[in-house]
């Protein structure tokens, strides 16, 4: 028993010495190829066995014949181990290079295509993560292009919408200045109307800039949806009468919500104005509010005839006005973008969908 203990001790000592030397070698080549590291690991395993054998032989536990036999066996094992390590290292390095080339493609703005050759579980997991990252980057680039398109459209439409009233104001001012205005009072009234329109446009731009900058300050309070919808209907009633549109708000539940009353009144006002302007005379715009599984749903239904399906995802984009809304009173395409910004600031969401004869805008808010 004592001899076995001594043999184990000498073998362990020789193996530890080899392992320490191997650890030092791995540290020195830690920046080199994986093939070199695998070769060192394989060599350490074989040399540890050889060192332990030599230590036992030095302690006179092995005969010279047995030592030569063991050394030969260890040498053959070393050859096979090193060859296997080299092959494995070259295979892993080749798969890593393929992954590097594939990753470079989507880094340059393309899409990531995973290598078709089989790889280790770790490299396969990395490939899947790169593919997911590539998909997210593609979506981000698409959103960026859509936003840039919206910005360009917004600048073009705002420039057009500003130029028209400004040209009218300039003409009316010159007519009044030259004393050639046949009806000055009518000119003054028209100037006031145009100035109010410009003021509303500037106010929308300022509101939208605060929303995009994340500086929209909310003052939430507990409000009944019944009161909120009632105030919005009262404010939109004159415009509805002017367009010959009926306003209906019969299906409104008195559900309490924690919202900024001023901002949510603006949300409903924008939705109602948009619905009234898109609904033909003798049409109906209906407002409803009810509790749902997700919270409280405010809806505005109009008779616009529906929105093209390809345009539905862009309805709430900044500056979007649709193909049939290039001139006033369509506005600058800011109203629905402001609606979405205010609702999202309240941790809600906005949706739109077509219904027979029109479309339905929905605002979902959390229950108080």
Q: How far apart are CA 118 and CA 157, in angstroms?
A: 54
DSSP-assigned beta bridge partners for residue 358: 355
Burial of 20 (0-12, 13-18, 19+ CB in 10 A): exposed
| Residue 267 and residue 223 in contact, taking contact as beta carbons nearer than 8 Å | no
Residue 360 CB coordination number (10 Å): 16
User: Residue 294's pLDDT is what?
Assistant: 79
User: Residue 272's pLDDT is what?
Assistant: 92
| Mean pLDDT of all residues in 342-352 | 90
% of the chain with per-residue pLDDT over 70: 77
pLDDT at 201 over 70: yes
User: Residue 333's pLDDT is what?
Assistant: 66
Q: Is there a cis peptide before residue 189, judged by omega within 30 degrees of 0? A: no
The CA-atom distances, in angstroms, between 20 and each of 7, 24, 37, 44, 159 are 20, 6, 15, 9, 75
Burial of 262 (0-12, 13-18, 19+ CB in 10 A): exposed
pTM (whole model) above 0.75: no
| Mean pLDDT of all residues in 102-126 | 70
Task: Look at 116-130, 198-212, 245-259 and tell me which has the smallest mean pLDDT.
Answer: 116-130
User: Residue 93's pLDDT is what?
Assistant: 74
User: Residue 60's pLDDT is what?
Assistant: 60
Handedness of CA 83, 89, 91, 94 (dihedral sign): negative
Closest CA to 360 of 269, 257, 287: 287
| Mean pLDDT of all residues in 234-258 | 87
pLDDT at 366 over 80: yes
| Residue 59 and residue 12 in contact, taking contact as beta carbons nearer than 8 Å | no
Residue 329 — pLDDT band, cuts 50, 70, 90? very low
Handedness of CA 299, 305, 306, 307 (dihedral sign): negative
| Mean pLDDT of all residues in 349-368 | 89
The CA-atom distances, in angstroms, between 219 and each of 213, 260, 290, 298, 345 are 18, 5, 23, 20, 11
pLDDT at 234 over 60: yes
DSSP-assigned beta bridge partners for residue 295: 292
pLDDT at 326 over 50: no
| Mean pLDDT of all residues in 268-287 | 90
User: Residue 57's pLDDT is what?
Assistant: 66
Tell which wins on pLDDT, 365 or 103: 365
Residue 360 — pLDDT band, cuts 50, 70, 90? very high
> Residue 355 — φ and ψ, nearest 5°?
-130, 165
pLDDT at 14 over 50: yes
> Residue 114 — φ and ψ, nearest 5°?
-65, 145
Q: Where are the alpha helices (DSSP H) in 29-63?
A: 34-58
% of the chain with per-residue pLDDT over 90: 8
Highest mean pLDDT range out of 14-28, 82-96, 336-350? Answer: 336-350
pLDDT at 328 over 50: no
Residue 35's contacts (CB-CB under 8 Å, 6 or more residues apart) are 85, 86, 89, 90, 92, 93
User: Residue 172's pLDDT is what?
Assistant: 86
pLDDT at 300 over 90: yes
User: Residue 180's pLDDT is what?
Assistant: 77
Residue 318's contacts (CB-CB under 8 Å, 6 or more residues apart) are 147, 150, 151, 154, 208, 333, 334, 337
Q: How far apart are CA 158 and CA 320, in angstroms?
A: 11
| Mean pLDDT of all residues in 145-157 | 74
Q: What is the four-CA torsion angle of 75, 79, 82, 86, rounded to 10 degrees?
A: 170
């Amino acid at each position: 028993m004592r001899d076995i203990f001594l043999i184990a001790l000498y073998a362990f000592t020789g193996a530890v010495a080899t392992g320490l030397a191997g650890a030092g070698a791995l540290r020195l080549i830690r920046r080199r190829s994986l093939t070199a590291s695998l070769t060192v690991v394989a060599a350490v395993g074989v040399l540890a066995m050889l060192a332990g054998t030599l230590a036992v032989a030095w302690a006179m536990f092995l005969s010279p014949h047995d030592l030569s036999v063991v050394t030969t066996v260890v040498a053959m094992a070393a050859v096979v181990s090193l060859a296997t390590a080299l092959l494995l290292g070259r295979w892993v390095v080749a798969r890593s290079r393929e992954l590097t080339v594939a990753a470079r493609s989507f880094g340059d703005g393309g899409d990531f295509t995973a290598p078709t050759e089989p790889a280790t579980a770790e490299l396969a997991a990395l490939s899947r993560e790169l593919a997911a990252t590539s998909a997210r980057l593609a979506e981000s680039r698409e959103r960026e292009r859509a936003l840039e398109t919206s910005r360009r459209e917004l600048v073009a439409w705002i420039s057009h919408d500003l130029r028209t009233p400004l040209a009218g104001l300039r003409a009316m001012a010159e007519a009044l200045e030259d004393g050639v205005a046949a009806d000055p009072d009518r000119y003054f009234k028209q100037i006031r109307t145009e100035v109010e329109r410009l003021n509303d446009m500037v106010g929308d731009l300022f509101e939208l800039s605060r929303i995009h900058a994340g500086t929209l300050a909310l003052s939430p309070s507990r409000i009944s949806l019944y009161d909120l919808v009632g105030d919005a209907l009262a404010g939109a009633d004159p415009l509805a009468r002017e367009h010959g549109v009926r306003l209906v708000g019969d299906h409104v539940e008195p559900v309490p919500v924690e919202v900024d009353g001023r901002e949510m009144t603006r949300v409903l006002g924008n939705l109602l104005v948009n619905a009234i302007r898109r609904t033909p005379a003798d049409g109906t715009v209906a407002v409803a509010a009810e509790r749902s599984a997700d919270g409280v749903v405010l809806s505005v239904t109009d008779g616009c005839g529906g929105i093209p399906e390809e345009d539905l995802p862009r309805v709430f984009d900044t500056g979007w006005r649709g193909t049939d809304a290039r001139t006033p009173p369509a506005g600058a395409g800011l109203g629905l973008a402001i609606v979405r910004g205010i609702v999202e600031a309240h941790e809600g969401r906005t949706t739109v969908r077509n219904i027979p004869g029109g479309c339905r805008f929905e605002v979902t808010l959390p229950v108080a």
